[in-house]
Amino acid sequence: MSTLSQESHVKTEQSALPETDPLALFDAWLAEAHEGEPNDANAMALATATPDGAPSVRMVLLKGHGADGFTFFTNSQSRKGQEIRANMQAALLFHWKSLRRQVRVEGPLAEVSAAAADAYFHSRPFVSQVGSAASDQSRPLDARATYVARVEALEDACKAAGEVPRPPHWTGFTLRPERIEFWLDRPNRLHDRRLFIREGEGWTSTLLYP
C-alpha cells in the first residue's frame, strides 16, 4: 500500500494560488510577511552572474517595488555591482520561513536615476551613510580597525560639512520581472506552485508540479 493510502486519502482541493495579478499577490504576501516574520521581511537573496555564467548570491534588502519592478541599492564597485554592470540580468528569492512561503523573481536590471539614488542614500541614518561612503565594499581589508578609523574620520568631516556626499558608485538597480513564481507549503510535501510569465504588458500563468 502506498504511503498516501496508509496516511489517508489526499483530499481533492483547489490551488490556494489564484490566477491573478502577480504583483498584487506579491504585495499581499509581503504585507503578511511584515506582520509575521520576526526580522527583515524585505530581505531577499540576489543572484547575479558573470558574462561567462559563473553565479554568486547574497542577501540584500528590497527598498521599493511596484509596476516598474523590484529595487535595491548597492555599491556598484562591489562584486555584485561589477557582475551587474557586466550582465544586467538577475534573480531574486524571498523566503518567509514563518509563513512557509517563497517567491522567485527573474528579469533584466536597469539602474535608477541619480536623483533616486540621492534621495534614498540621504534617507538613511547618518551613520549608515558614512559607513557606506567609507567602505570599499568587497575589496580586501587588512584589519577591521582600518575600516573603523575611516568611518570615524569621515563622520567627523561630514558632521562639519553638514551632509554625507553620496559616492558616485553608490547606486540602485530595479529588476523588471519577466518570471515570478509563488511557492506555498502544503502537508506531505504536496506543495502549491504557480508560475507567472510576462507577455507584453500582461501575464500568463500555470500551476507547476511541486
Sequence ranges of the domains in the chain: 15-118+168-208, 123-165
Average pLDDT (55-76) is 96
Name the pLDDT band for 14 (thresholds 50, 70, 90): confident
Average pLDDT (115-127) is 95
pLDDT of residue 19: 87
pLDDT of residue 201: 87
pLDDT of residue 10: 57
Residue 84: pLDDT above 60? Answer: yes
CA distance 105 to 201: 17
Residue 66: pLDDT above 60? Answer: yes
Average pLDDT (166-181) is 97
Q: Do residues 56 and 80 lie in contact, with contact meaning Cβ atoms separated by under 8 Å?
A: yes
pLDDT of residue 15: 81
Residue 27: pLDDT above 80? Answer: yes
Average pLDDT (69-97) is 96
Tell me if the domain spanning 15-118+168-208 has CATH number 2.30.110.10: yes
Torsion of CA 70, 71, 76, 82, to 10 degrees: 0
Grid coordinates standing for 35? 506582520
Residue 148: pLDDT above 50? Answer: yes
Q: Which alpha helices (H) appear in 43-143, and where do they start and end?
A: 79-86, 114-121, 126-134
